[in-house]
Amino acid sequence: MKQLLSYLAFFCCVGSAFSQQGYKTTDSHTELRKIESDIKGYSDEMINGKHWYLRFVADSLFTRGFVKALKVKNSFSYRFDSIQTVSSIYAPDSSFRIFTWQMMRDYTYYRQRGAIQMHTSDGSLKLFPLFDVSDFTKNPNDSVRDTRNWIGAIYYRILMHTVGDRKIYTLFGFDENGPRSNKKWIEILTFDEDGIPHFGGDYFKFETSKKDTVKAPTLYRYSVEYKKEARLKLNFDKDENMIVYDHVSSESEEPENPYTFVPDGSYEGFKWTGDRWEHVSKLPTQILGNGNAPLESAILDEDGNVNQTKLDEMIKKNKVLQQEEDKENNKPVDKKSPPKKPKQQPQQQNEY
């Protein structure tokens, strides 16, 4: 506790000194570059700090300094290139940009931070902070939400479509979610007549069978949850002109546990049909983006049936890898033991 208080006292002193610094230059770019230099250390510490309380304090100080920078006139065009732990992407029409980053207490608790900066004609700041409520939401896909009830994610791409006189933005996001699984998100962002942002919308259409007697619930955003150690691709494919992502299956025949889901070699997608994303349940297996497995490793055949032999091989391989990992970390081999704490990486990436 004394160590914690000492660290807090230190950062408070630094923060106080930071807030008293004057940036009276009339050159906005020089002013922004100076503030960026001052907050860069905080941006690194809030992701890579050794202790959770150092990360949380650094996050607070970074946020304070970052908002100070955004208040500088014409900051919208300044890219903050040295801040590598914060994702910053502009809308295709340059009407806004969105910042997102992540806070981690430990490998069981993740929380996203974010803000939307609007483009203004006079260069003044119009900012909408985002408040992540994922941990308090049982059904994150079932509603349109405002900025105070945001389902947090680190966004890595934005698409734009027009329906009537309304612009529909589709955001692709990544969330470390928890100790055993990650999530990829397809989020919808719109602005009402007053320019207020709203997340989610009835823009997803799924195939229905004549045998279905119960209408499927409307999804206002879409997500794929999968095993922590797996690598899942979800992005817009320009060649196919559609969203393409890995289909996942349980590697241990536990469909009730998403943390067992891994890419199975087949693909799904969404095609924009003029006013919404229409789900495509099965895509040709030759659609492979970077990092995807070739057809030979697929555990589904052409009819969508599980190849039990290949599934067993995958399960066996994963168990061996887990045992080797536990041995390297001097841990007893335990099938139920959680994965080791993932290494923190900067969140500013072009594609996940």
**Per-residue pLDDT at 211:** 59
**Per-residue pLDDT at 215:** 66
Listed by start position, the domains of the chain span 1-85, 87-202+217-228, 230-327
Q: How many other β-carbons are positioned within 10 Å of the β-carbon of residue 267?
A: 25
**Per-residue pLDDT at 208:** 72
Per-residue pLDDT of the chain (352 residues; tens, 9 = 90+): 444 444 444 444 444 444 444 444 458 999 999 999 999 999 999 999 999 999 999 999 999 999 999 999 999 999 999 999 999 999 999 999 999 999 888 877 889 999 999 999 999 999 999 999 998 999 999 999 999 999 999 999 999 999 999 999 999 999 999 999 999 999 999 999 999 999 999 999 998 765 555 667 899 999 999 999 999 999 999 999 999 999 999 999 999 999 999 999 999 999 999 999 999 998 976 544 444 333 333 444 444 444 556 555 555 555 554 555 455 545 444 444 444 444 444 444 444 5
Cβ atoms of 321 and 330 within 8 Å: the answer is no
Residue 263: strand, helix, or coil: strand
d(CA 107, CA 91) in angstroms, rounded, equals: 32
Q: Residue 36 CA to chain centroid, in angstroms?
A: 24
Reference 234, options 291, 275, 282; nearest CA is 291
